[in-house]
Amino acid sequence: MSTTGSTLSAVEVHYPDSDGRPMSDNTLQWQWMVTIKENLEAIFRDDPDVFVAGDLLWYPVEGSNTIRIGPDVLVAFGRPKGHRGSYMQWREGGIPPQVVFEILSPGNRLMEMMNKFRFYEQHGVEEYYVYDPETREVAGSVREGDRLIPIPEMNGWISPRLGIRFEAGSGELRLFRPDGQPFVTFVELTRRVEAEQERAEAERQRAEAERQRAEAERQRAERLAEQLRALGIEPSAS
């Protein structure tokens, strides 16, 4: 039950920034968390009112520090970018994260995931996505009224809020930005940047070689003109 700030004037409630649990159980889970979070950051980098975070505690109810959850990735539209110790909804204009991602690990239990689903459904999440990188299964739910309804087919699904596309065939999940570019890991991004730098350097060297060739041709033409003048022949202007 929600408690107003006025009834808590005599009691200060502490909202911890950590629940004491590890951010991830294994490197694969962590890689997916970081990849999704950072790619979403990149997509909305120019929008000052889209907040993206990973493993950040969300407190939806003022006055309760036990009603909380730490989504692997959350996106809150209508909230400014910036650093936070936790997402206290009453300090965020009452806006809940609209999109949440959970990346499963072997330590996740069915009851735990059911409780998370109920939490997100109760507290206003509009889109909820769950991915298991071990089994490569992805599931999603989208809000209809006060319910989160399962998405019947995730392959080809486009997030209403994010505009990203899910490709969930027989292989590993692939996510695509609204511009059609695939999500990439930091390592893949580094390789792309390095490859682009190598292409740019090769182009620079080609242009420099062309410049040197043109300069050598100009100098050769000047020498030939001087030789013709020495013979009393004025080189043609053409």
Give the CATH number for residue 161.
3.90.1570.20
Q: Residue 85 domain-assigned?
A: yes
Same-domain check for residues 175 and 132? yes
pTM over 0.85: no
Q: Residue 4 domain-assigned?
A: no
Q: Residue 22 domain-assigned?
A: yes
Q: Residue 212 domain-assigned?
A: yes
Q: Which domain holds residue 172?
A: 9-182
Same-domain check for residues 68 and 170? yes
Q: Which residues of 113-138 are buried (b: 16+ CB within 10 A; e: fewer)?
A: eeebbebbbeeebbbbbbbbbeeeeb
Residue 229 DSSP class: H
Q: What is the pLDDT along the chain (238 residues), one digit of tens a residue?
A: 444 444 444 468 999 888 767 666 789 999 999 999 999 999 999 999 999 999 999 999 999 999 999 999 999 999 999 999 999 999 999 999 999 999 998 777 778 899 999 999 999 999 999 999 999 999 999 999 999 999 999 999 999 999 999 999 778 899 999 999 999 987 776 666 565 666 767 678 787 878 888 888 888 888 888 888 888 888 875 5
Same-domain check for residues 16 and 95? yes
Q: Which residues of 163-202 are buried (b: 16+ CB within 10 A; e: fewer)?
A: ebbbbbeeeebebbbeeeeebbeeeeeeeeeeeeeeeeee
Number of domains in the chain: 2
